[in-house]
Amino acid sequence: MKYLDSVIIDDEEKSRQTLRQMLGLFCPEVQIVGEAKDVQTGYELLSIVKPEIVFLDIQMPDGNGFDLLSKLKERNFHIIFTTAYDQYALKAIKFSALDYLLKPIDTDELKSAVAKASKQKSSQSREIDNLISNYGQKSEDQKIILSTSEGMHIIKVKNIIRCQADDYYTNFYLNDGRRIMISKTLKENEELLKDHNFIRPHRSHLINMAYIKRYVKSDGGYIVLSEGTKVPVSRRKKDVIVNFLQGL
């Protein structure tokens, strides 16, 4: 068995103990080589040991997990955040295509996150760089990582014109003419982008409202976007669209 050297950084001793026990029971390939209780001790630990996985809490007494990552010169490891629900933090993590586990940690989700980390050949340095870059940025300047079979695309959210469902995949259409397909449902992307000026006028479409050119009532109703695409509007979303356009 190939062991995965790992560290746990969490300010709650009980949380560290619970995670350690769960890993021992359900993820025997994970070998804990160190623990830390805050940003400073975590920084000191990661300056000495070189783990393959870091289980990192977000909120700690002397800062957060993002602060710790920004202090490190080398981040040659896979990171799995462990946190109680924090909408802002989770969105930043999702934008960077990183893994997280909500407390209390679910056994199946833990095994899945560890299995994913063990299969990845390279570190998550680019993803972590994007996370740190987004932290504290204005909404319009934030970037999202779109992972495909060919690699990663780091895209400014404001450059996404629209998204379109394709079964369990989503096509992203960008303002430079590119189309990028990722293996996430439109519903998942709607949840991620809903606070960034996006609206879902139809079950198959998610659009950036900044690119709306006009709304046409005929033919059942549709939106014309700035690059010419016509997006249908479902009956139950017509009032939302009209109210939005009237507010411009």
The domain spans of the chain are 4-134, 139-246
Q: What is the pLDDT of residues 51-67, one digit of tens each?
A: 999 999 999 999 999 99
Q: What is the pLDDT of residues 58-92, one digit of tens each?
A: 999 999 999 999 999 889 899 999 998 777 788 88
Percent of residues, the chain, with pLDDT higher than 70: 99
State the virtual CA torsion across 222, 223, 225, 231 in degrees, nearest 10.
-50
The answer to pTM > 0.75 is: yes
Q: Which residues pair with 165 in a beta bridge?
A: 170
DSSP annotation of 106 reads: P
Q: What is the pLDDT of residues 11-50, one digit of tens each?
A: 999 999 999 999 999 999 999 999 999 999 999 999 999 9
- Pair 56, 18: CB distance under 8 Å: no
Mean of pLDDT values over 154-162: 96
In CATH terms, the fold of domain 139-246 is OB fold (Dihydrolipoamide Acetyltransferase, E2P) (2.40.50)
Q: Is the Cα torsion angle 52, 57, 62, 68 positive or negative in sign?
A: positive
In CATH terms, the fold of domain 4-134 is Rossmann fold (3.40.50)
Amino acid identity for residue 163 in this structure: C
**108 contact partners, CB below 8 Å, separation of at least 6:** none
Mean of pLDDT values over 145-170: 94
Q: Tell me if domain 4-134 and domain 139-246 are identical in fold.
A: no
Q: Is the Cα torsion angle 93, 98, 103, 109 positive or negative in sign?
A: positive
Cis peptide before 51 (omega within 30 of 0): no
Gap between the Cα atoms of 175 and 107, Å rounded: 41
Indicate if the pLDDT at residue 248 is higher than 80.
no
